[in-house]
Structure 1
Amino acid sequence: MLNARLLLGRARPLATRQSCVFGRATMTTSDAPIRFGPFEVTEQVFLTTPHSFALVNLKPLIPGHVLVCPRAAHERLLDLSPDETADLLATVQLTQRLLARTYFGTGNGGAATSRDTASPSPSSGARGAGSFTVAVQDGPEAGQTVPHVHVHVIPRTRGDMGEGRPSDDVYVRLAAEAGNVGGALWDRQRRPAPGGDMPRVEDDDRAVRTAAQMSEEAGRYRMTLRDMGVEQ
């Protein structure tokens, strides 16, 4: 079984309310919450590394749309150190392999190997039946709504934007209310149920998910990482 530190160093325990055994590694209870900008997202996180974490999205554009962030709440990509930058990209790649296995039925078709994860080649890992949109909105003028660097990792298949719509329509949605990660989090935390005082952003395509739905998705991804042989 591959130890994740071959790729990412020794991963820190994920903050959860219960211990989870993943292969030989144990993810133990931690009191330290994980924050995405001003928002606590501990229950949405499915992968942690020394410098990064990956979490499911409150309002995904497409099934499997997740975010990868540095642990430190850097506002801009240029604020990351070289070690943080390398770890962030490695975490993005591992997340792509996870999503490829989940949504494309690829990802080497079995347990990851040190060659596949530590030194990926163009023909290995996430390459297969689908593609990925990997995007960073680096600053408010680029559409960033949470002042914390985050990489959108979105699994793509033909026709996923809807019949007759171009595949690059995803960038329009990222820039619009549909991709407003900060707005969705803000709305959910300050007005968790109908009848609250805070005005809700109207959006016909809005699909804000419940905490239980996001926790279930994060749990499925953690199980897939275990099946891939990735220890945290």
Structure 2
Amino acid sequence: MTEDCLFCKIVSGEIPSYRVYEDEAVYAFLDINPASEGHTLVAPKKHFNSFTDLGAEDIAALFEAAKKVTLALEKAFSANGMNIGVNNGEVAGQEVPHVHVHVIPRKKGDGGRGIKSIVWTEPDTANLEGMAEKIRKAF
């Protein structure tokens, strides 16, 4: 736990929340500024600033819980779909520096859009092989 982290305080119970799911590794609660009815945040109980700080076991626990939350939200709200995503870093919209997955129920005709509506810079696609090679070399 990081003592100045909002989500660490929520996980510990220091700040109240609307918990929807909890297990030994993960705590899921309603977003108090939701994008749709049932918008839930799924966060590891351990503090991690960045998604890339998570180990394989932490990622597995986080996304297994996100799947459970998704299934519950589909049932609870008769959702036609879900947006499931992670904002990683302030420039990407991460408002709280504690890793969390957004699970946002969607209904047909709700006016929302898909993940590509977050950013659309229209990069040059003339050299996709060069782009792929650059990424492969980064591993």
Tell me if both proteins adopt one fold, taking TM over 0.5 as the criterion. Answer: yes
Q: 1:43 aligns with which of 17, 42, 58?
A: 17
Contact 2:25 2:45 (C-alpha < 8 Å) held by counterparts: yes
Q: Per-residue displacement from partner, 1:128-174 (whole Å, max 9, x unpaired)?
A: x611100100111111110100111011111112xxxx5238955xx
Cα distance, 1:37 vs structure 2: 4.5
Q: TM-score, normalised by structure 2?
A: 0.70
Q: Structure 1 residues 169, 135: closer, same or farther in 2, change over 3 A?
A: closer
Contact 1:131 1:156 (C-alpha < 8 Å) held by counterparts: yes
Alignment of 1:138 onto 2:83: no
Aligned-partner Cα distance in 1 for 2:45–2:115: 30
Cα distance, 1:57 vs structure 2: 1.1
Aligned-partner Cα distance in 2 for 1:43–1:140: 23
Aligned-partner Cα distance in 2 for 1:101–1:168: 21
Which position in structure 2 is the counterpart of 1:65? 39
Q: Pick which of 35-44 and 92-101 moved more.
A: 35-44
Which position in structure 1 is the counterpart of 2:76? 102
Cα distance, 1:47 vs structure 2: 1.2
Superposition RMSD in Å: 2.2
Alignment of 1:90 onto 2:40: no
Q: Structure 1 residues 37, 171: closer, same or farther in 2, change over 3 A?
A: farther
Bigger relative CO (Cα 8 Å, ≥ 6 apart)? 1
Aligned-partner Cα distance in 2 for 1:170–1:61: 16
Contact 1:37 1:146 (C-alpha < 8 Å) held by counterparts: no
Which position in structure 2 is the counterpart of 1:167? 113
Alignment of 1:74 onto 2:48: yes
* Percent pairwise identity: 30
Aligned-partner Cα distance in 2 for 1:38–1:50: 16
| Off by >6 Å, runs of 4+ in structure 1 | none
Cα distance, 1:46 vs structure 2: 2.1
Contact 1:64 1:99 (C-alpha < 8 Å) held by counterparts: yes
Pairs aligned (count): 110
Q: Structure 1 residues 70, 64: closer, same or farther in 2, change over 3 A?
A: same
Could you list the runs of 5+ residues in structure 1 that have no partner in the other structure?
A: 1-34, 105-128, 173-232
Aligned-partner Cα distance in 2 for 1:171–1:61: 14
Q: Structure 1 residues 169, 95: closer, same or farther in 2, change over 3 A?
A: closer
